[in-house]
Amino acid sequence: MKKLLFLSLSSFIFLASCNSNPIVSKKYTINFINDDGELLQSSEVEEGAIPKYDGGTPFKQAPSEHEYVYIGWDKPIKRATEDTTYKATYDYVFLFGTYPQTLVSDNDLINALSKESPIGEYDYISYEGKNYFKQDSEQDYKSDDGTRVKENDEKYIYYEVKPIQWKILGDESDKFYTTYKLLDTCNFNKEYEPEVNAIIFPNNYCESEMRKYLNSTGDFANDGFKWRAFRGDTSRIDKPKIINDANSTKDVPNLYACEDIPENNDQIFALSRAELRDKKYGFNEEDNIDSKRTAKSTDYARARNATLFNDNTSTYWTRSPSASELGVYKYNAYNVTCDGSIQFNSTDIPGRCIRPAIKLSTSHCD
C-alpha cells in the first residue's frame, strides 16, 4: 500500500512538473513588401499555419499613360516553416483608348443609370464623369467582383468604360502592343462553308469577318473594335505591313496562307502563330502550354459569350490558318487556349475572343 501511494505521489509530482513548463509553439516573422521594399504587412505566424495578407491591393505609381498591374507575390504562399518575405510583382502596361469592361453591380449606381439615356453615336451613358455601356448578357458568368450574372439578366446590364491596357511586346527596334485583357468576341468567319469552287476559304484572314471587325470596315463601319476603342482618334497608330505568308503560320507549306496586307491599310491586327511562338516577344517557341500567352476576359467579353474557364481566362484567335493537305483544314484557324497552348478550331465557332494588336507611329511612341 505504501509503495502504491509512493508511486501515485511520484506520478503527480512528475505531471505537475510537466504542466509547469508547457510546450511553446514556434512562430515565424512573415513580411509582405512592395517591389520597392516598402513594408506592407508584418506578422508572427505559428509554425505550419498558412500566412494571410490582409492589406489593400499593392500599388505602384507609373508614368503618364502607363500603369502597373498587380499580378501577385514573387513566390507561392506556403505554410510557415521559417522567416519569409513575399514581394509584390507587377506587369507594366500602356494605356490607350477606352472600351466597356467592368460590370456595374452596385444597386444605387444601377438605379441611377437606369434613369439616364444613352447619348452620341457610341450609345454611352455619361454619369458623374464616367461612361457606361448597356449590354445584355448572352450567357451565365461570374464577374471579377464575384457577382453571378444570368443570361438575359435584366439587372446586370451596365458596364463601365475604362482605359484599354496594352501589353508591350518586343523592344525599341521591334515594338508593338496587344491588349492585356480580352475585351470582345468575334467569329474568325461567320460562314463556315465556302461557295462551290471558291478560291477564298473561311480561314483566309484577309477576307475574314475578324479583320473587318478589328478595323471597323465593311459591315462594321460604325461598329467593331477600332470604332469603339478609339472613337475616331487613331492618329497615333501606324499602318504596318502585315505578313501572312506560310512562315507566319509556322506551317510550311501552307495552302491557305493569304496575301500580305500592304502598308497604309490596317491599323489593327490579330497576332500570328509565328509571333506567338517568338521568344523575343517573351513566348514559348512551341505550341504547348505557355502562361505568357494566356489572357483573362473582361466582364463585358464574358457577357458577349466569351468561352470561360475557372480562372476567367478565355480563348482567342490568331490570324493564322491551319494547314494540311486534307481539305477539311480550310475551315480551321489557330487559336490560343486557356492554358496558353496553340490549337486550331473551326472558323465559325462561337465564344472565341479577339486580342487586337497595334504598332504606334514613330512620332507617337509611348
Under 8 Å CB-to-CB from 202, ≥6 apart: which residues? 188, 189, 191, 192, 193, 194, 330, 331, 347, 348
The gap between the terminal CA atoms of the chain, to the nearest Å, is: 94
pLDDT number for residue 212: 95
In this structure, what C-alpha cell is assigned to residue 102? 467592368
Closest C-alpha among 100, 124, 99 to residue 113: 124
pLDDT number for residue 22: 63
pLDDT number for residue 55: 94
pLDDT number for residue 4: 40
Q: What is the mean pLDDT of each run of 10 residues along the chain (366 residues)?
A: 42 46 82 97 96 96 96 96 97 97 97 94 94 95 94 95 96 92 94 62 92 94 93 92 95 89 96 97 96 96 92 95 70 94 92 96 65
Closest C-alpha among 140, 121, 145 to residue 131: 121
Spatial distance between the Cα atoms of 178 and 169, rounded to a whole number of angstroms: 8
- Give this prediction's pTM: 0.88
* Domains of the chain in sequence order: 27-91 (2.60.40.4270), 95-161 (no CATH), 171-364 (no CATH)
Classify 343 as helix, strand or coil. Answer: strand
pLDDT number for residue 314: 96
- Counting every residue written for the chain, the total comes to 366
> Hey, what long-range contacts does 213-222 have (CB within 8 A, 24 or more apart)?
213/186, 213/354, 214/186, 214/266, 214/268, 214/269, 214/270, 214/354, 214/356, 215/266, 215/267, 215/268, 222/121
pLDDT number for residue 6: 40
H/E stretch holding 164: strand 158-171
